[in-house]
Structure formats: C-alpha cells, structure tokens
Amino acid sequence: MNIVNILDEIEKVDGEIYERLNPRRAAMKDFFNMGKKIAVAALPLAMGSMFQKAYGQTTPAPVVDVLNFALSLEYLEYHFYNHALVATPTLVPAGAANGAITTIRDHENAHVNLLRGALGASARSVLVYDNFDFTAGGAFADVFSNYQTFLKVALAFEDTGVRAYKGQATVLKRNAVLTTALQIHSVEARHAAHLRQMVAANVTGASALKPWIGYAANGNDTGISAVDAVYVREQNTTQATYQITGINGTLVSQNAAAESFDEALTKAEVIAIANQFIKTGFKLS
C-alpha cells in the first residue's frame, strides 16, 4: 500500500488533510520517512490512528457503517478459508488448489486487519470461527468434508463479496475510502474468477462455468439453487437505461450483455445471505 498516494488522494477532497494531521508539515515528512521503514503489517494500524487523529469524531457515520459491514464480510470469508486450511488440512488438495485457497485466505486476513486498523476504536466486535455456521443450518452439511461443497460455498462468498462492495460505493462518494474499497473489491473479483475455474474443474456438472457470471434466466449461472440469492438480477442487460444487447448496432448478445456488467447487491440482500452462515447472537442487522 502506498500511504503517500492515499494522502494525496485525500488532499484532493480535503485540502487541509496535512494540517489536520499535524500543523507542522515537516512532521508529516518525518511520518512518511517512518512509513518507508515501518513494517508493512503495521501500516493499517498506523493509518487508523492517523485518520482518527485527522478527523477525530467527525468520521461520517455512514462511512463507519460501510467499513464495519465490510469487516463483517471479511471475517466471514477469512474464518471459512482458514478453518478449511487449518482444521481440515486434507480437504483442499495439496499443490495449486491449496496454494490458491491460501492466497485467498491471506488476502481476507489482510482485509480484516486493514479495515480494523482504519476503523480503530469504531471497529465492530471481533468475530471468531465459532460465531459462524458454515453449513448454513445444514444446507451445506458437508462443507468441510466434501471438496465440491466447499468450492460451491467459497464461490458464493466471493461473488457475494464483489456485489456487496459495489452496492456501498455511492455511500463513499468523493471519499478516499472509496479508493481503498475499490482496491479490495477488485481483489474479490479476482478471487471469484479463480474460484469459478476451480468449480468448473472439480464440481460435477459445472464444467461450463466461466470466470465471469454468465447469463441465466434467474441470474444464477452456477446451477446451485441453494445460492440463487447471490445472483439475483445478474441476468440484467440494461445499464443506466441503455439496453446493452445489440447496443449501437453491435453484435453484443444477451449473454455478453449480462456478463459485461456485474450487478450490485443491496446491504439488506447481502445481510440476508451472510446471516445464513452466522449463528444467532452474532447476526448482522
């Protein structure tokens, strides 16, 4: 993460960011120099304290809500992958598959740390593995013993994550936090594309699954009806009132039109999906 770039971006929105951080610009230069030496893992925390210092109590509540919402989803993803890798080490085959799931797990962990650091004292309570039910009340009973089931749930989480960040983007309008959210969002999309390839290679009947979300009449191209809610409206081919199928006389098909734009989920829709995997007492609201 290039912390100096982030500050530059903030400066475009808030011209007084440097003064807020410290009235003495020279002191900020010291901070940048420190940033070059500071351990990368410690950066999110350093950033969190810095933003708090800058904005104090004025961090807009909607921004805090979005970040905490994102944090909950990152906890969900992290604990899912981490449990699979640590508690059921033979579930994900050694080699490329294990390497990919480890990469994804590590990114989700980094997202948790980044968001917690950015939120500081405003961060939601920590969610641990035991707060989740990854069988979704039995719908995916063999999620940690059947590799196919594990991949199906993983894909649902990643495609949900992509859609969830998209749905909150406008709340972060003209805020540097939007850039960070977009940087997480595209990583989730990369994960989703890779998992789609893993599902295509390993899940019975899914060999035609594409790295992008293909057209299906009900939006769900995975053939896994238990995750229909993850794909609502993905069949949409109209963007900002323009019909994309055949747009401007081109040969863009209905399939291509649906594939070429991912759709957003509302916060309520994401919460309904996530809560299936969260135990009573810890559910999102």
Instruction: Give me the residues that bind other proteins (CB under 8 A), please.
Output: 1, 5, 9, 12-13, 40-41, 43-44, 96, 99-100, 103-104, 106-111, 113-114, 162, 165-166, 169-170, 173-176, 178-180, 182-194, 197, 210-212, 239-240, 242, 244, 247-253, 256-257, 259-264
Question: SS3 letters for 166-199?
Answer: HHHHHHHCCCHHHHHHHHHHHHHHHHHHHHHHHH
Give the residue with the Cβ less far from other proteins, 261 or 282. Answer: 261
Residue 253 to residues 25, 179, 204, 234, 258: CA-CA distances in angstroms? 55, 32, 28, 15, 9
Q: Give the residue carrying structure tokens 């916060």.
A: 267
Give the residue with the Cβ less far from other proteins, 146 or 260. Answer: 260
Give the residue with the Cβ less far from other proteins, 65 or 262. Answer: 262
H/E stretch holding 33 reads: helix 25-37
Smallest distance, other proteins to C-beta of residue 237, A: 9
- Tell me the chain's radius of gyration from C-alpha atoms: 20
Smallest distance, other proteins to C-beta of residue 58, A: 19
Smallest distance, other proteins to C-beta of residue 253, A: 7
Residue 196 C-alpha from the chain's centroid: 16
Smallest distance, other proteins to C-beta of residue 33, A: 19
Smallest distance, other proteins to C-beta of residue 273, A: 17
Smallest distance, other proteins to C-beta of residue 143, A: 23
Q: Return the bridge partners of 239, or none.
A: 242
Give the residue with the Cβ less far from other proteins, 182 or 232. Answer: 182
Give the residue with the Cβ less far from other proteins, 224 or 265. Answer: 265
CA atoms of 71 and 123, how far apart (whole Å): 8
Q: Return the bridge partners of 238, or none.
A: 243
Give the residue with the Cβ less far from other proteins, 22 or 52. Answer: 52
CA atoms of 188 and 174, how far apart (whole Å): 22
Nearest CA among 104, 75, 118 for reference residue 189? 104
